[in-house]
Amino acid sequence: MITGIKGIRFRRTVAVTATAGAMLATGALSAAPAQAATAPTIVAKGGYIMDNANSKTLYTKAADTKRATGSTTKIMTAKVVLAQPNLNLDAKVTVQKAYSDYIVSKNASSARLIVGDKVTVRQLLYGLMLPSGCDAAYALADKFGTGTTRAARVKSFIGKMNAKAKQLGMTNTKFDSFDGISNGSNYSTPRDLTKLASSSMKSSTFRAIVKTKSTKQKVTTKNGGYRYYTWTNTNTLLSNYSGAIGVKTGSGSIAKYCLVFAATRNGKTVIGTVLTSTSATQRETDAKKLLNYGFAKLG
């Protein structure tokens, strides 16, 4: 009888030990997903994120498939301007009627520049990146292209955009416009646009502009007076995601809804792109999912 009791006691001990072991094993298994974040599902047809510190890929979805980019093209417009030798950001540019006519003819997004106003290059960059002004893009292309006619200068500027893309190793990118309103062959990829954004963010001027939620700019009128332009950033991620620092929205009939984005948390920066999402709200949701995933992977 004592032997039997001992046997029972022994079996109970084994059972308890086995149970404890199972609990430990279960605990180990349940801890694993916290370390290995599950890759998110996004609606956008293309997506990419990387660790900005070392360009390490953190997520891809059709990252090298060429797609229309909409106004995310304007990142390159700004990049080319900021790369100009001996750039004077305070140089003034007179707003031409051609810029406003262009906006009307294309039904394009606008900084609402007024003909005859004298606007600085720095102000044009704000007008380019915050309200996504195609008139500001035109003004910058006209200013920084070379040639005796406006058409020649614009063509020259777009040439500089493509040269810069090649220099940056954007092998699946081509620009045929200064603002993303394509003439049939304006395209890039999530990986290429992320590469462009990462390079652009090395400029303190660019960083300051793209993280600005809104700005009020004083400009000189053609009569020597002044007026104020107020611009609000189309990138609502700046208000809706903790740590967001940029970069640029895009949209269009073919491009649908695009977003190049970046955020910094705990000293780490994740930067990425979503192309061809279904709405302005959805592109932001897609971007948030990818940022959360990126930070989880970086730990």
Q: Find the catalytic residue in 109, 110, 132, 251.
A: 132
Does residue 27 carry a pLDDT above 60? Answer: no
By C-alpha distance, which of 168, 186, 197, 192 is closest to 260?
197
pLDDT confidence bin for 35, thresholds 50/70/90: low
Return all residues near 248 (Cβ < 8 A) that are at least 6 apart. Answer: 71, 72, 74, 75, 129, 132, 197, 210, 235, 259, 260
Catalytic residue among 61, 71, 79, 289: 71
Indicate if the pLDDT at residue 113 is higher than 80. Answer: yes
> What is the rounded average pLDDT for all residues in the chain?
90
pLDDT band for position 37 (50/70/90)? confident
Q: Catalogue the E-assigned strands of 131-286.
A: 214-220, 226-232, 244-252, 256-265, 268-277
Partners of 94 in beta bridges: 118
Q: Express each pLDDT in 76-104 by its tens digit.
A: 999 999 999 999 999 999 999 999 999 99
Percentage of the chain surpassing pLDDT 90? 86
Q: Which pLDDT score, from 0 to 100, does residue 110 have?
A: 97
Q: Please say whether the beta carbons of 67 and 46 come within 8 A.
A: yes
The continuous run of DSSP H or E covering 286 comes out as: helix 280-298
Length, in residues, of the chain: 299
The domains found in the chain, sorted by start residue, are 44-296 (3.40.710.10)
Separation CA 45–CA 62 (nearest Å): 7
C-alpha to C-alpha distances, 84 to 53, 79, 136, 164, nearest whole angstrom: 25, 9, 17, 11
pLDDT the model gives residue 186: 94
Active site residue 132: yes
| Residue % of the chain over a pLDDT of 70 | 88
Q: Which of 102, 99, 159, 149 is nearest to 124 (CA)?
A: 99
Higher pLDDT, 26 or 188: 188
Say whether 248 counts as a known binding-site residue: yes
Phi first, then psi: what are they for 107, rounded to 5°? 50, 50
pLDDT at 14 over 80: no
pLDDT at 139 over 70: yes
Coil, helix or strand at residue 203? coil
Q: Which of 126, 132, 82, 110 shows the shortest CA–CA distance to 217?
A: 126
User: Is residue 44 classed as helix, strand or coil in its secondary structure?
Assistant: coil
